[in-house]
């Protein structure tokens, strides 16, 4: 197993992804929605791994919901960095990280795949996330 870490610029928000995949093997997805394009986000997850978010100051955690309103996109109010997203369903949580917040950015060698999810309805979006996102453990604060 590999441990990958990242976080926001000011250090308030951190994430740890434990995965069977080395950094160079992580999928790199460039969602084409306007939020992700404006953020320059590159998403990654491993459904066989585990993900934990940690927040030093929960008052500086921003949760943003848009479109189908099926996930919380996590941003730091202190420095403005988008670190990842979390969806809760049936008492379980699933997450994705923004690889642009990855600590070892040079280890990421895969080219991003452009992903267009605009045709999904809320049910399809939740099903895709359950299948592809990483199980989230712990509480990222401000729950």
- pLDDT at site 35: 93
In a domain, 141, yes or no: no
pLDDT score at 143: 46
User: Does the residue 142 lie in any domain?
Assistant: no
Instruction: Establish if 97 belongs to a structural domain.
Output: yes
Residues near 88 by beta carbon (within 8 Å), at least 6 away in sequence: 94
CATH number of the domain to which 20 belongs: 2.170.150.70
Number of domains in the chain: 1
- The two tokens of residue 46 are 């491993």
Q: Going from the first residue of the chain to its last (143 residues), give the mean pLDDT of each consecutive group of 10, the final group possibly shorter.
A: 98 98 97 94 98 97 94 97 96 97 93 94 96 91 49
Sign of the dihedral through C-alpha 29, 33, 37, 43 = negative
Domain of residue 125: give its range.
2-135
pLDDT value at residue 141: 55
């Amino acid at each position: 197993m590999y441990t990958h870490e990242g976080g926001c610029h000011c250090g308030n928000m951190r994430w740890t992804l434990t995965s069977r995949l080395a950094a160079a093997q992580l999928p790199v997805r460039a969602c084409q929605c306007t939020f992700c394009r404006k953020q320059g986000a590159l998403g990654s997850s491993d459904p066989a791994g585990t993900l934990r978010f940690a927040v030093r100051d929960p008052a500086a955690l921003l949760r943003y919901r848009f479109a189908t309103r099926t996930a919380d996109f996590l941003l730091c109010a202190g420095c403005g960095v988008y670190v990842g997203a979390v969806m809760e369903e049936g008492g379980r949580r699933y997450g994705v990280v923004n690889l642009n917040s990855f600590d070892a950015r040079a280890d990421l060698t895969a080219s991003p795949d452009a992903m267009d999810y605009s045709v999904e309805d809320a049910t399809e979006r939740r099903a895709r996330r359950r299948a592809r996102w990483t199980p989230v453990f712990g509480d990222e604060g401000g729950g």
